[in-house]
Amino acid sequence: MALLNCDFHIHSCLSPCGDDDMTPNNIVNMALLNGLDVIALTDHNTCGNCRATMEVGAENGLIVLPGMELTTSEEIHVTVIFPDIEKAESFGNYVATMRMPVKNRVDIYGNQFIMDREDKVVGEEEDLLILATGIGLYEVASLAKTYEGVATLAHIDRHSNGVLGVLGNIDEDMGFFKAEVTPNASEEEYKKRFPFLNFVKSSDAHDLLTIAEAWKCSVINVKERSCKAVFDYLNEYN
């Protein structure tokens, strides 16, 4: 068995609100410095930097799961994490067809850099990634399953773009079995309110200094130190 420190919600420089220093190598190295064993890369409405970050992680002994922070049509954030890069990119291709066709204004919103494993900019996403998609909240969990992904209600303790801040409640008909709280929230408080949910604690880091330290994030017990074992843990009640 292996006890692993995990931060399942990290943004790269592909998210316009992400710091330009959030490159694949910087993210991986900071995660390792903070004592993490596992991270998930979850940029807004895209998986475009997952492949490079996974490659850097594999070279340095950090498990990196591919993911996305999807913005629903209600402007609620949901992270979706996948077992492999192919399924993540396939989901990302679908989400791209559901994004609003609004171009990014770098001077207002920030850069949206696509990078390779050496932190070289190989492209930029033209569509503004932080807008709502045409995918409704009640669709997300089942849609994620068709790509073998696990959907988690993101940062429910925050008012901005959290399901409680937008809708005021979580019901089982939404189809979710996991929710996320941020490091300073009381996980036990939310467990009492929503006993049908399993919880993870993640940083939602947009800059290097916000990536969770080991003692502030989720600690999981899995059969072995592997990407498959971690994903199977997340997917256990899906």
Q: How far is CA 145 from CA 122, 151, 154, 174, 208, in A?
A: 31, 8, 17, 14, 31
CA 43/CA 76 separation, integer angstroms: 14
Structural domains counted in the chain: 1
Q: Please, which residues bridge with residue 198 across strands?
A: 178
Chain segment 69-90, per-residue pLDDT in tens: 999 999 999 999 999 999 999 9
CA angle 13, 18, 21 (to 5 degrees): 55
**190 pLDDT above the threshold of 90:** yes
The mean pLDDT value of the chain amounts to 97
Q: What is the DSSP letter of 215?
A: G
This prediction's pTM: 0.97
Proportion of the chain in helix, strand, coil states, percent, rounded to 5: 35, 25, 40
**221 pLDDT above the threshold of 80:** yes
The domain of 71 spans 2-234
Query: Which tokens belong to 78?
Result: 């949901």
Q: What is the pLDDT of residue 1?
A: 84
Q: What is the pLDDT of residue 148?
A: 98
Q: Which amino acid is at 103?
A: K
**237 pLDDT above the threshold of 70:** no
CB of 83 within 8 A of CB of 63?
Answer: no
CA 117/CA 132 separation, integer angstroms: 29
Neighbours of 124 (CB within 10 A): 13
Query: Domain containing 187 — which CATH number?
Result: 3.20.20.140
Chain segment 4-38, per-residue pLDDT in tens: 999 999 999 999 999 999 999 999 999 999 999 99
| Residue with tokens 């089942």, as numbered in its chain | 142
Chain segment 58-73, per-residue pLDDT in tens: 999 999 999 999 999 9
Helical residues (DSSP H) of 116-162, grouped into ranges: 137-146
Chain segment 137-184, per-residue pLDDT in tens: 999 999 999 999 999 999 999 999 999 999 999 999 999 999 999 999
CB of 26 within 8 A of CB of 208?
Answer: yes
Helical residues (DSSP H) of the chain, grouped into ranges: 24-33, 50-60, 85-98, 106-109, 137-146, 163-167, 187-193, 227-234
CA 118/CA 48 separation, integer angstroms: 15
Radius of gyration of the chain from its Cα atoms, rounded to whole angstroms: 16
238 confidence band (pLDDT: 50, 70, 90): low
